[in-house]
Amino acid sequence: MEIEVSAEAKNKRLNKAVAITVVILSVFTGLCNIKDENIVQAMQQAKADSVDRWGEYQATRTKLHIAETARTQIQVIGADKPSEAANAALRTIDEEIAKYRKETPKLAADAKGYADQYDALNVHDDQFDASDALISTAISMAAVAALVESLGLLSGAWLFGAFGIFMGVCGFAGLAFHPDILSNFLG
């Protein structure tokens, strides 16, 4: 007894729907990946700027501490016999102390601003990461749906794909929607 197996799919309409689904989701994922890479580069720059500013802040605070210590030492040493040289040194140190005290709040604010920028960009990076994961799942489900010829599985793929597209649109539009549960579970 010979059984003939047809390599041709029985449900061409389902296969066309799978093909269209895969193309749409793949193109959208490609666009999201471009934008996500740009966001990652901006995050790296914001982190580097934040670290640089904090380093500059710490160096300025150290110079302030050294200047204040030097001022105290000059005052103690010159307490018995104040001299013009000691007074000139104190004036110079006082100018440096005033300069450092003025600089440190701005440096701290700049560093915090860069850190906040990093955090804001990270929300959108997470959105694109979620979009990529959801769409990859949808494409896999669509492929299996074509193999087993299951409209139910393709419908599930459409749900995952729709949520993935929603997450990608949130990333492109700069919307604040953030899948905290998903990020916490996967992060």
Q: Which of 36, 94, 42 is nearest to 67 (CA)?
A: 94
The total of other beta-carbon atoms located within 10 Å of residue 186's CB is: 11
Residues 6 or more apart whose Cβ sits within 8 Å of residue 178? 123, 126, 127
What does CATH list as the number for 12-186?
Answer: 1.10.287
What value does the CA radius of gyration of the chain take, rounded to a whole number of Å? 31
pTM for the model stands at 0.75
pLDDT tens digit string along 10-46?
678 999 999 999 999 999 999 999 999 999 999 999 9
| Residue 7 reports pLDDT greater than 50 | no
pLDDT tens digit string along 120-156?
999 999 999 999 999 999 999 999 999 999 999 999 9
Q: Are 164 and 138 in contact (CB under 8 A)?
A: yes
pLDDT tens digit string along 69-99?
999 998 888 777 778 888 888 999 999 999 9
CB contact burial 117-154 (16+ within 10 A = b; e otherwise)? bbeebbbbbbbbbbbbbbbbbbbebbeebbeeebeebb
For residue 107, how far is the Cα from the chain centroid? 22
